């Protein structure tokens, strides 16, 4: 029940990108390892209703949940750490908050009252925060507030936290993440930015209970005492967060600093008789840091300048690499830079090739050239979403001889006939419109590569795309040797394609990377890395 749920808010100060998401996920992991149930929620201060329309260069990848919500990439971290699915309730944006309030106002729900930031916007925020607690599934709801304290966009969220601290009392606390810069000229850590950050929080009426201090150097007792004195926190509640070689090290660093024990103590929960069981996590880290082999895999995409655009894919390679006791080095290759003249040189030395998802026509021909190279040179290949669609187009052009094969989305104004291998599917998405979003079932044919990978005939995977394989060409593809090994049973939509006489050639319409976690590396990535090692 909600009255048994504890609420923890994670705020950030001084600068963005300090790692609130990783600290939130690490704290949740430690509580989970002690036997508690926990979930994490992200409050994003931008006015977009969701990240679905954001360019990946703006905000990194768009992460999709089982229920079809397009969310912030931090939800990927939450799932990868906790191995617990999130939902649309786990990501809230300012745009969504205002949209809901305005819709209520238009319907007359406020009975003619003047609609204001306080109480209407803050009440909507508080309702969204408490929604996860009302499910009765979680003993802890950790809410990460995006942006930095002092940002004008974050003010309604901080005000909502202030109100909830009064309403929830001892069932609520605030963890504030801040920065301790190191000045090499004087050889010391400076606490003033942290002091100013906490002062900003106090001006909003919020007293942090725990301070997590990002730093390149260790915090000695004097530094901790100084921060505690100026920021009104206990000395043991000043937590050191040193830079780590991997984000997956952070739970162990936080355990060493007793973050979970301090949080439980402040929330009035007995923690003397429980310890965090991180045995499986430590086994993963051991395999991660002691690989027996190293390989280079090419990731071919068109947003490679910002690697967060493919965050879930790169992390899935970490999980699959550790499972295979192999270090995967990703070669980031821009598909727009690939031509028939340089393709062999650009892809030289790669043990495997992944063609990444994306939208629009830019960089498509480079992806098609890449797939042709992988197919003809027996290089293990994995195509995801648009990567699968490009594999279909490449096969049609170069094996079936359909030289005009393309998609109307990618080639809408061509002067020559378009052999439309991809067609838009209408109104089959969870959210309406023309996108398939969220989890859909897939039946895997027996005796195929996909069935050997999944070890089951009926699976569920997450989608985010508009176009589908055109079933009018099914017989032609199968006759030429392409196996349509996975199909959506309800709509008959092709989900998985593969080639028989190839070491590893598989394309999937869905996004397997969304479901890969530390505890359960995705079988497709595990099999792809294994094939690339061989």
Is residue 509 reached through a cis peptide bond, with omega within 30 degrees of 0 on the bond before it? no
Distances (CA, A) of 9 to 42, 49, 240, 520: 10, 22, 18, 28
The helix/strand/coil state of 59 is helix
* Catalytic residue from among 172, 213, 326, 385: 385
Evaluate the CA torsion angle 51, 391, 486, 429 in order and state its sign: positive
Asked about 326 being catalytic, the answer comes back as: no
Give a three-class secondary structure readout of 40-51. Answer: EEEEECCCCCCH
* Catalytic residue from among 77, 319, 406, 511: 511
Asked about 513 being catalytic, the answer comes back as: yes
- Of 325, 316, 262, the closest CA to residue 289 belongs to 325
Q: Which two tokens stand for residue 297?
A: 């895999």
CA angle 499, 502, 508 (to 5 degrees): 40
The alpha carbon of 263 is separated from its chain's Cα centroid by a whole number of angstroms, namely 26
Quote the crossing angle between the two packed helices 155-168 and 122-134, to the nearest 10°.
50
Distances (CA, A) of 232 to 57, 201, 228, 265: 39, 12, 6, 17
Burial degree of 106 (CB within 10 A; 0-12, 13-18, 19+):
exposed
User: Checking DSSP bridges between strand 467-469 and strand 419-424, what pairing results, if any?
Assistant: antiparallel
Length of the chain: 534
Asked about 70 being catalytic, the answer comes back as: no
Residue 171 · residue 37 · CB < 8 Å: no
466 DSSP 8-state letter: S
The helix/strand/coil state of 20 is helix
Rounded distance between C-alpha atoms, residue 404 and residue 424, angstroms = 18
Rounded distance between C-alpha atoms, residue 378 and residue 452, angstroms = 19
- Of 198, 228, 263, 215, the closest CA to residue 27 belongs to 263
User: What residues act catalytically?
Assistant: 385, 511, 513
């Amino acid at each position: 029940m909600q009255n048994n749920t504890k609420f923890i808010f994670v705020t950030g100060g001084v600068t963005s990108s300090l790692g609130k998401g990783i600290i939130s996920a690490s704290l949740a992991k430690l509580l989970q390892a002690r036997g508690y149930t926990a979930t994490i929620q992200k409050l994003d201060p931008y006015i977009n209703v969701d990240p679905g329309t954001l360019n990946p260069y703006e905000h990194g990848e768009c992460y999709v949940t089982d229920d079809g919500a397009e969310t912030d990439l931090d939800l990927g971290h939450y799932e990868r750490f906790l191995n617990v699915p999130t939902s649309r309730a786990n990501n809230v944006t300012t745009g969504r908050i205002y949209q809901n309030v305005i819709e209520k106002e238009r319907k007359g729900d406020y009975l003619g009252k003047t609609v204001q930031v306080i109480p209407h916007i803050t009440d909507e925020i508080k309702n969204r925060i408490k929604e996860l607690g009302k499910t009765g599934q979680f003993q802890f709801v950790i809410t990460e507030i995006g942006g930095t304290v002092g940002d004008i966009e974050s003010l309604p969220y901080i005000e909502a936290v202030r109100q909830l601290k009064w309403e929830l009392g001892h069932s609520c606390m605030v963890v504030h993440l801040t920065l301790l810069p190191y000045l090499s000229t004087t050889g010391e850590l400076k606490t003033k930015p942290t002091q100013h950050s906490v002062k900003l929080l106090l001006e909003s009426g919020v007293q942090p209970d725990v301070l997590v201090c990002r730093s390149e150097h260790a915090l000695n007792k004097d530094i901790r005492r100084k921060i505690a004195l100026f920021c009104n926190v206990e000395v043991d509640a000043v937590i050191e967060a040193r830079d780590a070689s991997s984000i997956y090290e952070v739970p162990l660093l936080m355990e060493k600093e007793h973050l979970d024990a301090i949080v439980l103590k402040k929330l009035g929960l007995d923690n003397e008789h429980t310890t965090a069981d991180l045995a499986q996590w430590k086994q993963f880290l051991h395999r991660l840091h002691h690989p027996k082999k190293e390989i280079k895999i090419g990731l071919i995409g068109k947003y490679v300048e910002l690697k967060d655009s493919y965050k879930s894919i790169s992390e899935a390679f970490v999980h699959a690499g550790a499972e295979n006791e192999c270090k995967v080095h990703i070669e980031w290759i821009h598909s727009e830079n690939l031509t028939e003249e340089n393709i062999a040189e650009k892809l030289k030395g790669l043990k495997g090739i992944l063609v990444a998802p994306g939208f629009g026509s830019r960089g498509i021909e480079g992806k098609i050239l890449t797939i042709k190279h992988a197919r003809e040179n027996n290089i293990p290949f994995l195509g995801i979403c648009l990567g699968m669609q490009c594999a279909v187009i490449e096969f049609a052009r170069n094996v079936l001889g359909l030289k005009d094969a393309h998609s109307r989305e990618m080639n809408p104004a061509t002067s020559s006939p378009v052999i439309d291998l991809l067609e838009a599917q209408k109104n089959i998405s969870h959210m309406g419109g023309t996108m398939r979003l969220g989890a859909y079932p897939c039946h895997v044919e027996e005796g195929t590569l996909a069935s050997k990978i999944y070890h089951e005939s009926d699976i569920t995977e997450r989608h985010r795309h508009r176009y589908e394989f055109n079933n009018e060409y099914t017989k032609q593809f199968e006759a030429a040797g392409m196996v349509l090994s996975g199909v959506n049973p309800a709509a008959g939509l092709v989900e998985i394609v593969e080639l028989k006489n190839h070491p590893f050639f598989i394309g999937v319409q869905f996004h397997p990377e969304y479901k890969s976690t530390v505890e359960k590396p995705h079988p497709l990535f595990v099999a792809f890395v294994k094939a690339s090692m061989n």
